[in-house]
Amino acid sequence: MAPQVHYYDIPDFRFQDGTVLPVARIAYLDINPSASKLALIPTCFKGTLHSTLNFCTSALRDHRIIVAAQFGNGESSSPSNTSSSFPARLDYRDSVAAQHALLTQHLGITTTTPIDVVVGFSMAGQCAYYWAATHPTLVKRAVIICSSARTSGHNRQFLEGPAAALENAIDYAGKQVAPGQARALESPRGVRAFAKAYSAWLTSAEWYDQEKWRELGYNSLAEYDEDATGARYRGSFPDDLLAMLRAWQAGDVGVCFGGGEGGDVGLPLEDALGQIETPVLLMPCPTDQYFRWEASEREAAMLRNGRLEVIPSVWGHLAGAGVDPKAAAWMDDKIAEFLGES
């Protein structure tokens, strides 16, 4: 049976852009709550609480696992479920602040009972970096899968494609929505265009050459495409997708070390990573088309205590999501080994 979804409401929550929500809601799972060790796993782009790889039966089986939905994912406060004025711009620091409130104010986590590990894939990996940067005494270790400390120019530009496909769709109405009316504007044509523009980036050219979609049970590429760009996006709200996408584009752990008006001008990447004391395991995939493994290699060298393990897979970005059983088992072993080190 799927774990129960819980909610924690935070009154008068102030976002980085200055917006204040009368009530900001964080959705979360609490798996194995009696365990003495603690793991935090934020959701990724378009990820939900129950679709997030949580390692609960393997590397984290002896941990209490809090899976926390990031702002904008449709479960925590998002454009689709917030009648008040939602922030024009999301920042990872917003989700980290809300998750910190959940853990410390609601679940009773303190520096004497810290987070043993923060695990994050893709956008959640960037969120994990922000956790390590902003709460070094609370986070003992971080595992960052198919992600980066700063969103690259190539990554930002790739995201402009699906964003433009959605924003220019004939049925996309934008954010000029009366309070309480957000759900009425779902833009199915825009979301389908977004999905079509995004889909080929998820895996790799070799994945297509080897027809790996057959391992997912599809009889043809057309059948896979129909599901990957149709059914899997059904019910997706356009401004949820765009809110998270813009936060992803702006990802830069350097801002956690301050400076500049609004806190948006931070340290150069090498200086920022050099200040992170938390041991970090980086697990990129060599066929990932937008979080490139070479960037993780450079980051590992910049971190005070960084370790690099490259996932051997042709599944591209999806290798880190657990879709490929072999890659998932490989990651599980590496995480267990990392957590077992003194």
pLDDT for residue 197: 98
**pLDDT in the model for residue 333:** 97
Determine the pLDDT at residue 192: 97
Query: So what's the pLDDT on residue 185?
Result: 67
Say what the pLDDT of residue 84 is: 73
User: How confident is the chain (342 residues) per 10-residue block, as mean pLDDT?
Assistant: 94 96 97 96 97 94 97 96 88 98 94 93 98 96 98 98 96 65 70 97 98 97 96 93 97 84 74 97 98 98 98 98 96 97 70
The structure's pTM equals 0.95
pLDDT at 1: 77
The b-or-e profile of 124-154 (16+ CB within 10 A means b, else e) is bbbbbbbbbbbbeebbbbbbbbbbbbbbeee
pLDDT score of 263: 54
How confident is the model at residue 170, as a pLDDT? 92
Burial class (CB in 10 A: 0-12, 13-18, 19+), 330: middle
